[in-house]
Structures are given as C-alpha cells and as structure tokens.
Chains A and B, each alone.
Chain A
C-alpha cells in the first residue's frame, strides 16, 4: 500500500475515533440545549474535569478503567445540585444561560488550575498494544476508545428510543410545555438530562486523557469544535450532531495531513459558514 494512502487512512481513522469522542461530548451539549434550553459554555470544562479526575483516579488506584466508573459517579454528585440550585433560573433563556455558564466555566477552570496545576501531564497508555491493519500500526488503546464510545452511543440510543423514560426526555426536547401538561415530572427530566449531558462530556474526557495531554485549558479546543459540530448538525438534533461529529472530525483528520492543525480548523469553520448560508438551522434541524 502506497505510503500516502496509508497515512491518510491512518489520519482518517484517528479522526473518526476522535469524532466518536466528540460525538459523546456534542450529544451532551445538544441534549442539554434541547431539553433545558441552556447553551452550556462550560461543557468543554466538564470534559476537562473528566480528564483531570481520571488522572487522579489513576494516581490513587493505579487503574485507568476504574475512572470509567468513578468519574461518572463524581460528576453526578456535582452536576445534579448544579442544575437544581444554580442553573434552573436560566433555563429557556439562550443568551443568559450562555453567559451564566461562562461564569461556571471560569470557576471550574480556576479550581482545576489550583488543584491540578497549570502544567500539562500525561496518563500512561492503559493498553499499549498495537494492531497492524492494512500495513499500518494502530495503537490498540484507540480501538478500545472506539469500542467503548460505540457501546456508550448504543446505550444512549437504547435509553432515548427504547425506554419510556428516555422517550419522555425526547418528548421534552420537542415541546416542554406539552410534556409538563401531560403530567411528566419535568423537574426530574431536567436533572436527568443535565447529569446525562455532563457525564457524556466527562467520559469523553476520560477516554481522551491517555491520548492527549491533560491540561486545565483542554476544554477550549473541544468546546469550539463541539459548537461547530452542533451548528452544522443542528442544535437539538441528535442524529445531526452524531453525523456532523463523525464527518467533521474525520475530514479534519484527513486535512491535517497536508494542512496545519489551525488551517484545518479554519477549513471546518468555512464549511460551517457555507452550511449556515444555506441552512440557518443546521443540516438536520427539526
């Protein structure tokens, strides 16, 4: 296989796997917006918190996979009261909630800076195996990431489309007043959705941690990318977010073979503008 093709394939698959992680994060963002009407500017920092927490879990227990269980638990403990006590008044107010979550973003960042520090650190590879696929060596851990992400996505799909509670969540996305009028406990749905969104972002952070360095500002790149994904896919559209995440990250991955990372990001940005000019609500908006 000619080297250029295998390089591009490598970058494409890397991009696709990163796209799976971004899909988790962006789906959390879309769910939070769809059900709660909150534009969560702190979403990238929750991703960062997941990565930082997994760093400490690895440090304390020596086991990386444990963080896949512990981090969601910790996130639930913090996210539930955050929604109930802090975010509730801003729900439904798109601009106000964006500014409010900026405030939360600063707080999370500074706490991370204070406790974790400003130096990027690495988590050692939890599965230092590699597989040879079509003549190129792929890191085994990344395949595991893909596998776990797909499992989570499948679980999310099952939850939202096959359980009665999940269907209620989707109903609330369509029309919250109607859902409330039908006697659905909107209070519980709001907390559940926010916690679910945050857990998705945090787990994304856990999975990403061994691949990329853990840094207290790592949320910035991710929130920018997630926003672009959600705008192209359609804010509030689960299908659109998933497709946009996978497509954009693989495209960006391939472009990184001949463009610099920033140039690739700018190219994605141009794609977003083109999409917006034709579809102001994204490709798959309801």
Chain B
C-alpha cells in the first residue's frame, strides 16, 4: 500500500511539476537579475513582478474556480489607494500601509463576492464588469479623495531595522522588497492549491454540480476563492502604489481588469505560475509595440481573438490537452 501511494503521489505531481520547475527557475533568475540589471530594465522587471502577483491572484478566480471576473481592477485600485491614502492620512510607514491594501481587498472582495458569486456565469461576468465601471467613474469623480486621474503623490518613510535603513527610493531595495512579496505570495497560494481547500476549488472548476452532490456548499467555496483572489490582487495594487509613490484613478481603469485575463490565457489557466509567462510576453509586447505603432491596441484585440480561437482555456490549456489525449 505504501509503495503504491508513493508512486501515485509522484505521478499526480508530474504534470504540475513542469510549471513548478519553471516557477523556481523564474524566481531564482529574478533573484540574480536584481543585482546586475541596469536601472531602466530593473524598473520594468519590478513592474513585471508586481503583475505576476496580480496574475496569480486572478488565476485563483478564473483558473481554479472558473469565475471570469472583469472587475479585478477594483481590487488593484483599492490596494494602491489603501497604501497611498493610509500613508498620506495616517502617516505610517510603507510596510504597514500594505496592511490597508490587504484590508481593502478583503472588504471589497467580500462585498463584491457576496453580491456576484451566487450569480450565473453571464450575470457574474457582467456584474463584475459593472463594478469596474462604477468604481472607475467614482474614482475619477471623487478627486477630493483620489486625486482623479492626476492622482496623489506620496513620500515614503525610511524603515530602520536594527541599524539598517530600508528605503524604497533605492531601486534595488524596492526590487527585492517586491520580490519577497512575490515569493511569499507564490508559496502561500501554492500551499492553498495543494491543500484540501485547493482540491475543492479545482473540483468546482471541473464540475460544479458534482461537487454539490458530494456534500459541499459550493457557493461558500467559490466566495472564498474570490476573496482570496481579491486580497492578492489588492496586494499587487499596494506594491504598485508604493513603487510608483503615487495613486491614480487610472488604477481602476479597464486595463487592470482585462490584462490579468490575457496573462492567464497566454500563460495557462489554473497553473498558478503559468500566467507569469503571459505577464512577460505582454509586458514586452506593450513596451516595444506601443512605441512603434500608436494603434497597437488593435493587435492586442487580435491577439485576444486568436488565443481564444485556439483554445478557450488559453495557450497552455491547448498544449496540455494535446499532450494528454
């Protein structure tokens, strides 16, 4: 019995292990790159790391419980403003400000989830899109709070830990600060996915009705997944606000709702680290192509259509299904 169990453990993990190796290599690369990259490139990579957290957070919703939300910009924005506003008004340091990002993500995730998660698929995707629209309008309008799309700038305090001063104004410190959160987020989410709760998420994605008839309150688990997704998305927003030292109503724009979807579709739904590939590809794409053609968004639209044409589960889904059959 024990030998078989070991065999089964190994085999069950093998398919996922490709992604895991990729994740470890990617993170190690990031560790090294932080020291050697020139300043411009390092800045780009910091943004990539932040987006990787956002992509992972979104994957929990879409890739692991099949909840295609178009409202995640709400979490990203609230995360950024949680950090920025708490620093501005409460005069706290940058590290505690992230607590407010997470809190904002949790509260909004619970409220939005409570209203949306129980809805059918079409209603869910539309209502989350409505949340994006309304929050974006409100953020642009309430300039006394948000600064509108001009935004609010903040000055960050220097953190002193045992004689060492940590200041995010040093780009290298900023880089490793974000990397630490990326690694922690990955470890936490990976643990959740491998836990009983994670297995329930996956089974909900595979066949929701069946899970109901196995004795689970499916709505409750979908809600938990949605909230977890919101919290990590808010974390990425907070890190973004800290990195830019700035918060703007633009952080609530549609760009932040649709990009996670595209990252996950390119990189692979339900793989956690797969979407990082999507982040890298799309970041490079935007960086180079937008400089070359003003109307590069047309290409972006075509890319979306092409990916979905190949497979509704994204590129990796297509690749995996070819290998499995």
Contacts and interface: CB of A to CB of B under 8 A. Distances in A.
A and B touch in the complex (CB under 8 A): yes
Contact of B126 (A39, A86, A106, A114): A39
A280 B127 CA distance: 11
Interface string A12-41: 000000000000000000000100000101
A277 B116 CA distance: 9
A100 B308 contact: yes
B300 A106 contact: yes
B122 A39 contact: yes
A51 interface: no
Given A99-B261, A262-B138, A107 B302 contact: yes
Contact of A100 (B133, B140, B141, B305): B305
Given A227-B129, A231-B126, A276-B115, A90 B308 contact: yes
A228 B131 CA distance: 10
Contacts of B295: 110-111, 113-114
Contact of B70 (A93, A96, A98, A276): A98
Interface in A215-256: 220, 223-224, 227-228, 230-231, 235
A252 to B, nearest CB: 13
B229 to A, nearest CB: 15
A110 B304 contact: no
A203 interface: no
A262 B308 CA distance: 35
Given A107-B302, A262-B138, A39 B125 contact: yes
Contacts of A100: 304-305, 308
Contact of A94 (B115, B125, B265, B305): B125
Interface string B172-190: 0000000000000000000
Contacts of B301: 102-107, 110
Consensus secondary structure, chain A interface: helix
A158 interface: no
A273 interface: yes
A45 to B, nearest CB: 11
A109 interface: yes
A281 B120 contact: yes
A260 interface: yes
A227 B304 CA distance: 22
B92 interface: no
Given A224-B133, A262-B141, A265-B137, A33 B122 contact: yes
Interface string B288-325: 00000001011011111100110010000000000000
A64 B151 CA distance: 41
A103 B300 contact: yes
A272 interface: yes
Contact of A231 (B123, B303, B312): B123
Nearest to A107: B301
A220 B257 CA distance: 14
B120 A272 contact: no
Nearest to B261: A99
B118 interface: yes
Given A98-B125, A280-B119, A224 B304 contact: no
Given A111-B298, A266-B138, A231 B127 contact: yes
A96 B312 contact: yes
Contacts of A99: 68, 258, 261, 265, 304, 308
B130 interface: yes
Contact of A106 (B120, B137, B298): B298
A265 B136 CA distance: 12
The 6 A-B residue pairs with the shortest CB-CB distance, nearest first, are: A103-B304, A95-B68, A106-B301, A103-B301, A94-B122, A224-B133
29 contacts: A86-B305, A89-B308, A95-B68, A95-B121, A98-B126, A99-B265, A99-B304, A99-B308, A102-B258, A102-B304, A103-B301, A103-B303, A103-B308, A106-B298, A106-B301, A107-B301, A110-B297, A114-B295, A227-B129, A228-B130, A235-B122, A262-B138, A262-B141, A265-B137, A269-B130, A273-B115, A277-B115, A281-B120, A281-B123
Interface of B: 68, 70, 115, 118-123, 125-127, 129-130, 133-134, 137-138, 140-141, 258, 261, 265, 295, 297-298, 300-305, 308-309, 312
Given A100-B308, A262-B138, 19 more contacts: A33-B122, A89-B308, A95-B121, A98-B70, A102-B258, A109-B297, A110-B295, A111-B295, A224-B130, A224-B134, A227-B129, A231-B123, A231-B126, A231-B130, A235-B122, A266-B137, A273-B115, A276-B115, A280-B123
